[in-house]
Amino acid sequence: MSGVCFGIASALYVGMSTTRPSTHRRPGTVREIKGIVIQSDGQSAFGGWFIRPMEKLNRRVVGIRTDPDGPSLAMHAGIHVVLENGEEWVAEQLHGTFRNYFKTGFNWTPIETFGDRDRGGWHVTIPATAFRQIDDEQVHKTVERLNTLDGHPFIREDCTAFMEHMFSHQMFAHLPILGLLGIEMLIGDPALPLLKPDATLDPEAARLLRHTELRQLRDTPWGFKPSTVTRMLPRALAAGVVGALAGWFLG
């Protein structure tokens, strides 16, 4: 399944930084997962015109009113790891090149290079176990997957889907706006991480992620509970299409 990554951290940034660039080659053996790093690009025109308006709409669907005076909404996320040599990298899904789109978007980025993409925004790392379905056992298994699994093309897997693939669990609300139509697609909203309501976060991390608002997200694919009518809508539309086609052929 193809998807549009809400993260604006594309491979177009590679080479623009004075720090080491991202690479498709695993830079070493992953020793541990430091956490999930979530990022907000402060200067993205595409983010300002499309991504964040869509995220605000998603938040309204789940019942969250976005505070205009609050920190900017996140647009990208990756897995913050520590290698056996002590270096810190981010395992992430990027776009922007033919290879990323059609072969593999799985990239490894030095944490300092990842930070360069903030451009006046922010990034913060939180424990993976702060997510509702993730425990220490899942973290251990994900270390093994990062050391062995290959990536998927970006047209099949965006930044949040990449992490859910590696952790084998849902970690972000899957486009609540589609939930209104009863459609579940594996495209997560980086601004709606499914964090545990009682997760203990650093105060600054909690502020940047707006954890107080996220506590009300429901344990459903879209972060809210759709109505019976919503759940029946796709079937009703499909039945209508089939009926119309049958009438056209038999008429």
pLDDT digits (tens, 9 = 90+) for 179-220: 888 787 889 999 999 999 999 999 999 999 999 999 999 999
Q: Structure tokens of 246?
A: 């049958």
What pTM was estimated for this model as a whole?
0.85
Residue 188: in which H helix or E strand, if any?
strand 188-193
Indicate the pairing of strand 106-110 with strand 30-40: unpaired
Q: Which residues of 75-90 are buried (b: 16+ CB within 10 A; e: fewer)?
A: bbbbbbbbbeeeeebb
**Comparing C-alpha atoms, which of 30, 35, 32 is closest to residue 199?**
35
Characterise 89 by phi-psi region: left (phi > 0), alpha (psi -120 to 50), beta (else). beta
**What CA–CA distance (Å, rounded) separates 217 from 59?**
10
Q: What is the mean pLDDT of the chain?
A: 87
Summarised one tens digit per residue, pLDDT across range 48-81 is 899 999 999 999 999 998 888 899 999 999 999 9
What's the CA gap between 76 and 5, in Å, rounded?
8
Q: Give the distance from CA 231 to its chain's centroid.
A: 24
Whether residue 164 is predicted with pLDDT greater than 60 in this model: the reply is: yes
pLDDT, position 241: 52
pLDDT at res. 222: 94
High-pLDDT (> 90) share of the chain, %: 71
At 77-113, the pLDDT tens digits run: 999 999 999 999 999 999 989 899 999 999 999 999 9
Q: Are 127 and 35 within 8 A, CB to CB?
A: yes
Radius of gyration of the chain (CA): 19
**Where residue 10 falls among pLDDT bands split at 50, 70, 90?**
very low
26, pLDDT greater than 90: yes
Digit-coded pLDDT (tens) for 113-158: 999 999 999 999 999 999 999 999 999 999 999 999 999 999 999 9
Could you tell me the CA-to-CA distances from 66 to 5, 52, 53, 116 in Å, in that order? 21, 11, 11, 26
